[in-house]
Amino acid sequence: MITTRTSTEEILRRLHDKVAQRSPIMIASAGSGLVARLLEQAGCDCINTFSGARLRANGMGTMSMMWPILDSNQQTLTYTREDIMPAIDGRSFVCACLNANDPLKDMRMVLDDCRRMGVNSVSNIGPSISYVDPDSEIYRILTGSGITLQNEIDMLRLAREEMDMVSIGLAFTEPDSIRIVDEARPHIFCYHAGTTKGGLTGYDSGINIEQTAANTEAVFAQVRDIAPDTILVCHGAAMETVTDAQFMLDNTSADGFWTGSSTERLPIERAVLEAATQFSSLSFSNKEHA
């Protein structure tokens, strides 16, 4: 097995060509090699790997990656190297979603590991402090112990400015979004409108697709003022179906979208449950043995 390498220059050329052609950019998460292969065949531009996606593939919720029961970066690097990279042929590029607040790792070394395995892109969502409610006591405790958005910004800057990698910034709040774009200048920015609803482990915050679009566009308007050339993608909350994604494209200034559960967990849940239920309902046509 020889993994196909795609240069940062080629990745950015493809992305900007799509933006110029008004063709939506598709970013999607994969927790297994099979899902990654199918996403690539479907025309996905970027496949994201992160511990939350791997946990989703095991039937757990994305947010289970927030608990200190695993080494998030090691989980991401291992399954990216062993499961994802051998499964694709290079039409899609891979972005590793990393924990920039890992107290036991030098992020320059982690990014070196990514590049060695053929991963030329990095994001700060593996996990991000932006997940945590900034008004909560746990947020104050975390930031007081050195778990900060600044570490994520520094990693994104390192990736873009020193290591020639495609940087993808992500944030859940307007202030965090502005800081990431202003200070890190990522090639791509994703506003995460909230945990995707639906399925066995989804979370419905009560926000509908109209509110999801409005909240996203409010952030995008400010981000475009800061960095007009940054590619913007939308994600999360009520954006569950293809119809929802189309609504987001039609009602925001997004250049594309990012799917997670919508193209991995939810389709797998539905398809496997339907097929298994049909098989489990089988009976012997002839009740008596010959």
- Residue 48 is given by DSSP the state E
Farthest-apart Cα atoms in the chain, separation: 78
Q: What angle do CA 165, 186, 82 make, to 5 degrees?
A: 40
Q: Are 155 and 100 in contact (CB under 8 A)?
A: yes
Determine the angle formed by the axes of helices 209-226 and 242-251, rounding to 10 degrees.
Answer: 40
The predicted structure's pLDDT at residue 200? 47
**Amino acid occupying residue 104:** L
The residues, any chain, with a CB within 8 Å of residue 131's CB and separated by 6 or more, are 63, 66, 172
What is the C-alpha separation between 58 and 274, in angstroms, rounded? Answer: 18
- Taking each helix axis from N to C end, the angle separating 72-79 and 107-116, rounded to the nearest 10 degrees, works out to 10
In order along the chain (290 residues), what is the average pLDDT of each group of 10 residues? 87 97 96 93 95 62 58 91 94 96 93 96 91 89 91 98 97 96 98 69 70 96 96 92 95 95 85 94 80
The reported pTM is 0.89
Q: How far is Cα of residue 26 from the mean position of the Cα atoms in its chain?
A: 11
Counted domains in the chain: 1
Distance separating alpha carbons of residues 212 and 222, to the nearest angstrom:
16
In a domain, 209, yes or no: yes
Instruction: Give the span between the Cα atoms of 72 and 94, in whole angstroms.
Output: 17
Sign of the CA dihedral with 34 first, then 40, 42, and 45 last: positive
Residue 282 domain-assigned? no
DSSP per position, 173-190: SHHHHHHHHHHH--SEEE
The domain spanning residue 128 has which CATH number?
Answer: 3.20.20.70
**E strands present in 74-137:** 93-97, 121-123
Report if residue 20 sits inside a domain: yes
Closest CA relative to residue 217, chosen from 250, 246, 185, 240: 250
Does residue 197 form part of some domain?
yes
The DSSP 8-state label assigned to residue 124 in this structure reads S
Which residues form the domain of 255? 8-273
The verdict on residue 286 lying in a domain is no
